[in-house]
A and B are shown apart, each in its own frame.
Chain A
């Protein structure tokens, strides 16, 4: 609960900082130029640092989690996606994982009945909410690129057109309202559902840390301020674009007349960017590196090399035979050295060190 409250307060404080900083103190250059550049720099540098840092640790063993039939006998059909037998199959597995959240789709929930009996049923809500959230976020980001590009590419126009298809239905009775962009609403819906799920599912609430609540609140407020800025406060989009283009072309300008609501939205986005590389949000990069997902399950067919492998102490057959030779001979088991040979060798050696250890080992083991 501390994490929950702390995160909520932290986000409100961030809103306050932007409000006071721009609305009260007029620090437009700080919030419009310096912080955005710093945030973007932190984002990219941090992202690269984290991924490189992970990649520096090797993958000593080939440990894919196999979720289907392996490729074995020719007449048994392998499950190529869930138990990849080639690099191509791994690519396919990763595509399904990253684009469709295949593992989350497997999710099932259990409930206890009397008996005791346990039932397992399909549970797709997490998958659905996550899919809504991530795809809506992607569209929102792509859509925002229009602020940073001139001219607007065809794909951007098409995307906006698709995203705003409700326009036709609403236009008749909501004249004057900017085109409703679905992605923003779906994103707000998705993040709210994820937040509500985290609050009401007891197991998930129990495991949640501040690091889980904070990004949810942050993104919720980003959505809210964005939607307010667009539909309610109707900020001057032309001026915002002028400012964005300035940032993109490294000739920053801070036009007058942009509402403080924009700055609040913009500041929260900057915080998200700067926070990203140091948070769990790095699952964006991590998912591609996961050794249980991105490896071919062919470790018996192709040798995998461990870069830090080192020699270890083993108990050799010769030592073993020395320990048990008499019993082995008595039991009719073949030996490499006959009793006589071994005795002769022992006498010849006159080196008490080695045989002594063996004897002690024998005693210990008994």
Chain B
């Protein structure tokens, strides 16, 4: 416990900017850096921390229980990707929790106050706050440790609350605070203004026309649409997320879905979740508010990890009940999504799996024959939801070569990308590569044994961070969203020659049509 963390380039995140904190009214906006000696904490910072802890002990049974019942059996010790990649003992989930447990004992429990270290307690000092900052922004809230804990102690829950307390002092990171401020004002992390958001998607529409020969006319902020579609904004502007977004556009065109985009609720991701429960609620409110304003029947959500933890486990509690919406029913298959009866929001992969099961998609999986994909279960959809079979079902129907990784590293045992929960900042690359090692190592295995050349996923942060991680640890493996592979295999009505994939690269699986004079429809079939 006594070893202090050393802030070195690559192992810490830049401080939250004062302007971002001011925009959303977060505490103690100021200019500072974790490398400073003086962190300019508020005058009564000790009181704030004590009070903040006491309040949260009363509000969250999880927090209170997890402070008390750990037996330090060590089952979690080697389950954390940051521990595996860094070897730092304080990255063992049990010790990460002890960082705050020791203060709980030393400041709030009689035995700890009197016996101090002997009772596992210690006093609150500025060094403790620095250590919290270092280690609670070195946890991606992936919940892997919680799977193995005999009492289900969830470090994510502890990290969430520790970050909430750190936020009371204004000790937060720029990569979370700025997206939060952007999201609050413009509706999305990137701060894309309404017209820019629309333009970006229109560029992608042009690309689809160029590569697939289909013209799509998406609508924005359209009242009276049946469905509101919300996806993480990362998919709107960055590779390879944009190809996933092109996949959504093509899928919805293919099935003739009556849906609209929103520039106001233009963000599925919720970095408020990495700030505080309150900020999560403030940002999440937009989805329901916009669904009400537009008068849609239900909401469809794109591929994103933590967005889906929030939607699945928090949204209805935070901002529901959404009485103006109806229980989601697929307009194509008539399937009632009973599992979304109250929240009224369906995951794109559930939606697509249902379409495929009911033969509503015209698919030619051989278009993906040059791709040998594996699937990365994102932490949140596996351990905070349990969506394990749907993506595999979709992949097996749109590709012929799907290969799963070893059972120890997929499904509920999946490893984090190492950059989740707001840690995907450029300055943090070294720690991200360390944290991503276990995942990359598992991909390497299937790359070597089965020739896997594509890591598919249903998470925007994964899509943003895996390309660099793969280039570093497993060169030769690409990254894509599941919906991109769906779109590759889609046989669109009136489509052109699919010589190029959505990335504008020549498609090795493309087979030229056998007969030139065949009818339009037969021609289409021939292309497959």
Q: Which residues of A contact B (CB under 8 A)?
A: 2-3, 6, 50, 53-63, 65-79, 82-83, 97, 101, 103-104, 106-110, 115-118, 120, 126, 130, 201, 203-204, 206-212, 278, 280, 282-283, 286-287, 289-293, 297-306, 308-309, 312-317, 320-321, 323-324, 327-328, 330-334, 336, 361, 364-365
Q: Which residues of A contact B124 (CB under 8 A)?
A: none
Q: Which residues of B contact A72 (CB under 8 A)?
A: 337, 339, 350, 387, 390
B65 touching A313, Cβ below 8 Å: no
B72 touching A63, Cβ below 8 Å: no
| B345: min CB distance to chain A, Å | 7
A75 touching B357, Cβ below 8 Å: yes
| B8: min CB distance to chain A, Å | 22
B166 in the interface, Cβ–Cβ < 8 Å? no
Question: B386: which of A79, A116, A316 is its contact (CB, 8 Å)?
Answer: A79
User: Which of A2, A56, A126, A209 is most buried by chain B, counting CB atoms within 10 A of its CB?
Assistant: A209
Interchain Cβ contacts within 8 Å, total number: 306
B72 touching A334, Cβ below 8 Å: no
With contact pairs A54-B61, A207-B98, A333-B195 given, residues A69 and B389 touching in the complex (Cβ less than 8 Å): yes
A299 touching B313, Cβ below 8 Å: yes
Q: Which residues of A contact B293 (CB under 8 A)?
A: 317, 336
A211 touching B120, Cβ below 8 Å: yes
Q: Which residues of A contact B359 (CB under 8 A)?
A: none
With contact pairs A70-B387, A103-B147 given, residues A126 and B317 touching in the complex (Cβ less than 8 Å): no
Q: Which residues of B contact A116 (CB under 8 A)?
A: 437, 441
A210 touching B75, Cβ below 8 Å: no
B151 touching A287, Cβ below 8 Å: yes
| A128: min CB distance to chain B, Å | 13
A61 touching B313, Cβ below 8 Å: yes
B130 in the interface, Cβ–Cβ < 8 Å? no
The interface bits of chain B over 102-136 (1 if a CB of A lies within 8 angstroms of the residue's CB, else 0) are: 00000000010000011110000000000000000
A65 touching B147, Cβ below 8 Å: yes
With contact pairs A55-B61, A300-B316, A324-B194 given, residues A286 and B68 touching in the complex (Cβ less than 8 Å): yes
The interface bits of chain B over 480-522 (1 if a CB of A lies within 8 angstroms of the residue's CB, else 0) are: 0000000000000000000000000000000000000000000
The secondary-structure label for the interface of chain B is: helix
Interface residues of B in 138-157 (CB under 8 A from A): 143, 146-154, 157
Q: Which residues of B contact A66 (CB under 8 A)?
A: 382-386, 412
Q: Which residues of A contact B119 (CB under 8 A)?
A: 210-211
A208 touching B72, Cβ below 8 Å: yes
A101-B191 Cα distance, complex, nearest whole Å = 48
| A286: min CB distance to chain B, Å | 3
User: Which of A300, A312, A317 is most buried by chain B, counting CB atoms within 10 A of its CB?
Assistant: A300
The interface bits of chain B over 395-412 (1 if a CB of A lies within 8 angstroms of the residue's CB, else 0) are: 000000000001011011
Q: Which residues of B contact A53 (CB under 8 A)?
A: 64
B278 in the interface, Cβ–Cβ < 8 Å? yes
With contact pairs A287-B151, A290-B151, A333-B195 given, residues A70 and B385 touching in the complex (Cβ less than 8 Å): yes
Q: Which residues of B contact A (CB under 8 A)?
A: 19, 22-23, 25, 57-65, 68-75, 77-78, 84, 89, 92, 94-95, 98, 111, 117-120, 143, 146-154, 157, 181-182, 184-187, 191, 193-195, 198-199, 220-223, 263-264, 277-278, 281-282, 285-286, 289-290, 293, 311-314, 316-318, 320-321, 335, 337-343, 345, 350, 353-354, 357, 382-390, 393, 406, 408-409, 411-413, 437-438, 441, 444-445
Q: Which residues of B contact A107 (CB under 8 A)?
A: 75, 148
B316 touching A126, Cβ below 8 Å: no
| B267: min CB distance to chain A, Å | 12
B388 touching A110, Cβ below 8 Å: no
Q: Which residues of A contact B342 (CB under 8 A)?
A: 300-303
Q: Which residues of B contact A67 (CB under 8 A)?
A: 147, 383, 386, 412
With contact pairs A73-B350, A107-B148 given, residues A209 and B72 touching in the complex (Cβ less than 8 Å): yes
B78 touching A109, Cβ below 8 Å: yes
A77-B282 Cα distance, complex, nearest whole Å = 36
A63 touching B313, Cβ below 8 Å: yes
| A292: min CB distance to chain B, Å | 4
A327 touching B92, Cβ below 8 Å: no
B388 touching A69, Cβ below 8 Å: yes
B193 touching A327, Cβ below 8 Å: yes
With contact pairs A109-B78, A317-B293, A327-B195 given, residues A309 and B317 touching in the complex (Cβ less than 8 Å): yes
Seed contacts A301-B338, A317-B293; 17 additional CB < 8 Å A-B pairs: A57-B58, A62-B313, A65-B147, A69-B387, A103-B75, A115-B441, A126-B74, A203-B89, A203-B92, A289-B61, A298-B339, A299-B317, A306-B317, A316-B289, A333-B221, A364-B23, A365-B182
A73-B320 Cα distance, complex, nearest whole Å = 23
CB-CB nearest in chain A for B22: A364
A300-B78 Cα distance, complex, nearest whole Å = 32
A73 touching B390, Cβ below 8 Å: yes
CB-CB nearest in chain A for B143: A65
A203-B92 Cα distance, complex, nearest whole Å = 9
User: Which of B143, B193, B199, B345 is most buried by chain A, counting CB atoms within 10 A of its CB?
Assistant: B193
B343 touching A300, Cβ below 8 Å: yes
A300-B393 Cα distance, complex, nearest whole Å = 22
With contact pairs A209-B120, A301-B341 given, residues A328 and B65 touching in the complex (Cβ less than 8 Å): no
A selection of 8 A-B contacts at a CB cut-off of 8 Å is A59-B62, A65-B152, A66-B383, A69-B387, A212-B71, A328-B263, A332-B198, A333-B195
A297 touching B78, Cβ below 8 Å: no
| B454: min CB distance to chain A, Å | 21
A35-B274 Cα distance, complex, nearest whole Å = 50
With contact pairs A66-B384, A82-B412, A361-B185 given, residues A317 and B195 touching in the complex (Cβ less than 8 Å): no
A84-B411 Cα distance, complex, nearest whole Å = 16
B68 touching A282, Cβ below 8 Å: yes
CB-CB nearest in chain A for B66: A290
B77 touching A204, Cβ below 8 Å: yes
CB-CB nearest in chain B for A326: B195
CB-CB nearest in chain B for A308: B59
